[in-house]
Copies of this chain bind each other. A is one copy, B any other.
Amino acid sequence: MTSLLPAGWATDPAVLDARRLDRSGFDPGGRPRAVVFAESADEVAEVLRIANADGTPVVTRGAGTGLSGGAVATDGSIVLDLSRMSRIVEISATDELAVVEPGVITSDLDRAAGRYGLRYAPDPASVAISTIGGNIATNAGGLRCAKYGVTRDSVLGLDVVLADGRRVGTGRRTVKGVAGYDLTALFVGSEGTLGVIVGATVRLRPAPVRTATLAAFFPDFVAATTAAAAVTAARLQPAIAELLDRVCLDAIDDADGTALRARGAAFLLVQTDGPGADVEMDAVRAVVEPLSGDVEVTTDPVRAEALLATRRAALPALERHGRVLIEDVAVPRSRMADAVAAIEKIGVRSGIRIATMAHAGDGNLHPILVLDHGRAFDEDVWTAAGEVFTAALDLGGTLTGEHGVGLLKRRWLVDELGPDVVDLQRELKAVFDPNAILNPGKKV
């Protein structure tokens, strides 16, 4: 069957091996039969026609930076690698949009937009290594979501190859439009299970003329969430509001020789942006300062980057201590302190070190389960992760805020959605992919 594939396929074991997994660390042991490095939508269509006729699973892949097993290869599958479709086709400064191929690295798009005083707002932590196609497939979030929304909010239209090789356009180049059901939103976050995204028209937004950044330390996490809640209660709208817990700060101190823990047991970083950044920051400072003995505010971009670096240092620091399972629950903002308390209890019960960082502006928590070096994701680990999911659901939240369901969270999906909605999802999947060739076993 591989002989039918378009140019640019490989069955070399080393090539297959390099495209078999993602960054979740999860390995179910499946081996793909080939990798196709598609260079055009026509090649994608050709692969899908062949696979669909044959019933061969197709696992679409960008940079493989996903954290939920969404791009992990099924046994016997064709891995459809889109990383070579990496052209920025158009940037329209007048219409504040870009047309891109799926393999464009997200920060490359942001940088290209910057030349026009624009930016691509969604900024997952992986922005420098992940592709826009992968971001769309998972509806990726990031730091700026509270103000600028998630990936879905920046996607105007998609160019999609369906399972049977037909190519369709969804959405439009206009900001508004209600002709037909919202297929664009259906494809965003569908994790390669409904079609293969071969192009996207995305919204660009004005790059902020100014930013102001606050960093504060607190005696405990509850005080830090209280401060974040006070910012919301003052009806302010920061672009970024990030929290780190004690375990994160300890890990950074260990790794980098800093003394953050001496300053507090929780860290809050808030950034305002836009023409009102300074005025808004004055108001942020006024509500945060009474709750923290250690507040710094800057409008200097270089100093702001240094403060943001503390947030960015957390994950690499934790990874030095062992293998990490990066979780991704979200709860209503009012329940963040409850969620962290529940996570701490799960850490104590399970004996697993759990660090928590959070996008405080939208209640999205990343509990990081840090396992001893060499320890697998054994059943005890999944039990602890399951308890985290259940805690989030009990607080009115979700088991995935921005990373996706992939392989890793499928068994908990029905707990969140209920059986009727899961049934509907499967019927929708069948409309787009009747032979179930597209990323089977993922998402639904």
Query: Which A residues contact B (CB, under 8 angstroms)?
Result: 92-97, 117-118, 138-139, 141, 145-146, 149-150, 152-153, 162, 166, 168-170, 172-183, 185-186, 188-190, 194, 205-207, 209, 229, 232-233, 235-237, 274-277, 279-280, 283, 330-334, 359, 361-364, 396-405, 409, 413, 416-418, 420-422, 424-425, 427-429, 431-432, 443-444
Which residues of B are found within 8 Å of A176, using beta-carbon distances?
Answer: 141, 145, 150, 330, 359, 362-364, 398, 401-402
- In the assembled complex, the Cα of A403 lies from the Cα of B177 at a distance in Å of 9
Rounded to whole Å, the gap between the CB of A392 and the closest CB of chain B is 9
Closest residue to A145 on the B side, CB-wise? B176
Which residues of B are found within 8 Å of A403, using beta-carbon distances?
Answer: 178
Asked if A417 contacts B153 (CB within 8 A), the reply is no
Can you add 10 more A-B contacts, CB < 8 Å, to A149-B153, A174-B364, A182-B185?
A92-B334, A150-B176, A172-B396, A176-B359, A176-B362, A177-B401, A178-B402, A206-B236, A427-B431, A431-B431
Number of copies: 2
Q: Contact partner of A333 among B95, B168, B206, CB < 8 A?
A: B95
Q: Contact partner of A280 among B117, B177, B275, B283, CB < 8 A?
A: B275
Asked if A179 contacts B420 (CB within 8 A), the reply is no
* Known contacts A175-B145, A334-B92, A420-B168: A188-B180 contact under CB 8 Å: no
Taking chain A's interface residues, is the majority helix, strand, or loop, or is none over half, making it mixed?
Answer: loop
- In the assembled complex, the Cα of A97 lies from the Cα of B232 at a distance in Å of 12
Which residues of B are found within 8 Å of A188, using beta-carbon distances?
Answer: 182
Rounded to whole Å, the gap between the CB of A133 and the closest CB of chain B is 16
User: Which of A139, A235, A283, A401 is packed against the most chain B CB atoms within 10 Å?
Assistant: A235
Asked if B174 contacts A330 (CB within 8 A), the reply is yes
Q: Contact partner of A417 among B180, B233, B402, CB < 8 A?
A: B180
Asked if A432 contacts B421 (CB within 8 A), the reply is no
- In the assembled complex, the Cα of A232 lies from the Cα of B93 at a distance in Å of 9
Asked if A401 contacts B173 (CB within 8 A), the reply is no
Which residues of B are found within 8 Å of A432, using beta-carbon distances?
Answer: 424
Closest residue to A361 on the B side, CB-wise? B175
Q: Contact partner of A229 among B94, B178, B275, B364, CB < 8 A?
A: B94
Asked if A179 contacts B399 (CB within 8 A), the reply is yes
Asked if A397 contacts B172 (CB within 8 A), the reply is yes
Rounded to whole Å, the gap between the CB of A174 and the closest CB of chain B is 4
Rounded to whole Å, the gap between the CB of A214 and the closest CB of chain B is 15
- In the assembled complex, the Cα of A283 lies from the Cα of B117 at a distance in Å of 15
Rounded to whole Å, the gap between the CB of A326 and the closest CB of chain B is 15
